[in-house]
A and B are shown apart, each in its own frame.
Chain A
Amino acid sequence: MTTRGEDLIRRMAAGDREAFGPFYDRYAPLVYPLVVRIVRDRTDAADVLQDVFWEAWQGATAYDPARGSPEAWMITRARARALDRVRALRRRSETFVPAVDEAPAPAGAGGDAAALAGDRGLIRTALAQLSAVQREAIELAYYAGLTQTEIARRLEQPLGTIKTRIRLGLERLRDAVRRVT
């Protein structure tokens, strides 16, 4: 059984330009909020978004459904590129921290918006089951790109404590996601 997303990627891998538009429409609304959260600036986020989708177009042949969902494929790539951008910006200006410019989001931004909104609520519920310190450690790693040593230093906790928080938090997250999906 193949999903619509997998089908689009397969067509892109075969060089079908017509598949790119629907692919973008399907995944850009999923990927963009993560990129915004990581880079915090909408102009930078737009650049990163473009890079991410261009890479997906060019690298579609490498997608292997056995190794993960199209969502994971895109989200993993988006996170990596967004963190690259943040690191580059941080070096350019060590002190400049832009505020997040929050804009209200219109309803129905993506093809699966309604389904996603439902999922979103469920995942939020799942995330609420993580303790505050578990969630903090996972978020510092995932969204801020800090390593375990950097997290331990920042939170002034022993490295072992940080590792344990990440493991327990991720176990709960996996369990919760398993129940939801």
Chain B
Amino acid sequence: MTSDHDVFAELAAVYAVGALDGDDLVRFETHLAEGCQRCTRVLAESREALTRMALAEPPAPPPAEVKTALLARVREEEPRPPRRPHSRASWVPWAAATAAVAVVAAMLSGGTVASRYEARLGQMARETAAARERLQRNEAALREEMTVYRSAVELLRDPATRVVELRGAGPSPEARGRLVWHPTAGGHLVVANLPPAPTGKGYELWTLGGPAPRPAGVFQVDASGRAIHRVEPAPGAVAKFAVTLEPEAGVPAPTGPIVLASR
């Protein structure tokens, strides 16, 4: 192996401890995506070594109530259809869902620093690389997810991008939203704590700024009250955003209660 690879050995180490950021991160992920077996092996070994380090913490007994609560949750959960481990059918939605949860958490937890998102993307790129190996061509779902996250990160790098907070209103005061918005590229709305819409209903996003609210798409939240919704750029200036509960096909003008609104 040529000494050219030494650079990547260093980047691999920093990546393994989760500290790679900026251009280095992009460079290393590209290298990994090209299938470098050496770096893949170093990362796996590093992960195990760091695990050993973490396991060497002084012992502390986990609180008993955590187990009690978890056992109750597991017991009360609806029975799941048995699934074959690592089958295509089960792995892809899980990976996509986990990635989505991670990104929703990262976006909602408010660090608008691009490096944080990149760190998340780093993990997801690794997941995707593994998926590719296992799933060969069947990773369309993951690709789509990755596209969303990549474009969110790109948006965050652009100084014209705004991050708009949405607060719960009306029937859902606990709901929270954050919209990464670019005037010409559009953006992504991330929502949490919004109760799933009743059957036949959906949540519709509106951009406000012109004479009347403009529809910006209908979305559904998952069972945990989260959603990521791609928002197309709107013509004209957009000052505010709001979400209302509407028929699931969407309506041209708002009719239902406002559940989320920017200030």
- Please report which residues of chain A, range 46-64, place their CB below 8 angstroms from some CB of chain B when the two chains form the complex: 46, 49-50, 53-55, 57, 59-64
Q: How large is the interface on A (under 10, 10 to 19, 20 to 34, 35 or more residues)?
A: 35 or more
> Is the pair B18, A145 in contact by a Cβ cutoff of 8 Å?
yes
- Bound Cα distance from A105 to B86, whole angstroms: 38
Q: Are B62's CB and A29's CB within 8 A?
A: yes
Q: CA separation between A24 and B19, bound complex, in Å?
A: 29
25 contacts between A and B (CB under 8 A): A17-B75, A21-B71, A28-B62, A46-B62, A61-B85, A61-B86, A67-B44, A68-B47, A105-B59, A105-B60, A105-B61, A117-B59, A120-B56, A123-B53, A123-B55, A127-B56, A138-B17, A140-B19, A148-B24, A170-B46, A173-B52, A173-B53, A177-B48, A180-B52, A181-B52
- A interface secondary structure, majority: helix
Q: How far is the CB of A170 from chain B (nearest CB, A)?
A: 5
User: For chain A residues 80-124, which have a beta carbon within 8 Å of chain B?
Assistant: 80, 84, 87-88, 91, 103, 105-106, 109-110, 113, 116-117, 119-120, 123-124
Looking at chain B's contact residues, the main secondary structure is: helix
Q: Determine whether A131 belongs to the interface, using a CB cutoff of 8 Å to chain B.
A: no
Q: Is A14 an interface residue (CB 8 A)?
A: yes
Asked whether any CB of chain A lies closer than 8 Å to the CB of B239, the reply is no
B61 adjacent to A24 (CB under 8 Å): no
Nearest-CB residue, chain B, relative to A70: B51
Assembly CA distance A40 to B175 (angstroms): 28
- Beta-carbon nearest neighbor of A34 in chain B: B54
| Residue B49 is within 8 A (CB to CB) of chain A in the complex | yes
Q: Give the number of residue pairs across the A-B interface with Cβ within 8 Å.
A: 209
Residues of B within 8 A of A176 (CB): 49
Whether A76 lies near B56 (C-beta < 8 A) is: no
The listed residue (B51, B73, B81, B94) touching A72 by CB distance below 8 A is B51
Interface 1/0 per residue, B1-19 and A, CB below 8 Å: 0000000011101101111
Residues of B within 8 A of A119 (CB): 52, 55-56
Please state if A84 and B19 are interface contacts (CB–CB under 8 Å): no
User: Is the CB–CB distance between B13 and A61 below 8 Å?
Assistant: no
> Interface on B for A, CB 8 Å cutoff?
9-11, 13-14, 16-22, 24, 44-63, 65-67, 69-71, 73-75, 79-87, 90-91, 94-95, 98, 102, 105-106, 109-111, 115-116, 119, 123, 130, 134
Would A171 and B66 be within 8 Å (CB), given that A33-B59, A79-B54 are in contact? no
For the complex, what is the distance from the CA of A149 to the CA of B20, rounded to whole Å? 8
Say yes or no: A36 contacts B60, CB within 8 Å.
Answer: yes
B-binding residues in A (CB < 8 A)? 10, 13-15, 17, 20-21, 24-25, 28-34, 36-37, 42, 46, 49-50, 53-55, 57, 59-64, 67-69, 71-72, 75-76, 79-80, 84, 87-88, 91, 103, 105-106, 109-110, 113, 116-117, 119-120, 123-124, 126-127, 138, 140-142, 145-149, 151, 163-164, 166-167, 170-171, 173-174, 176-178, 180-181
Residues of B within 8 A of A24 (CB): 67, 70-71
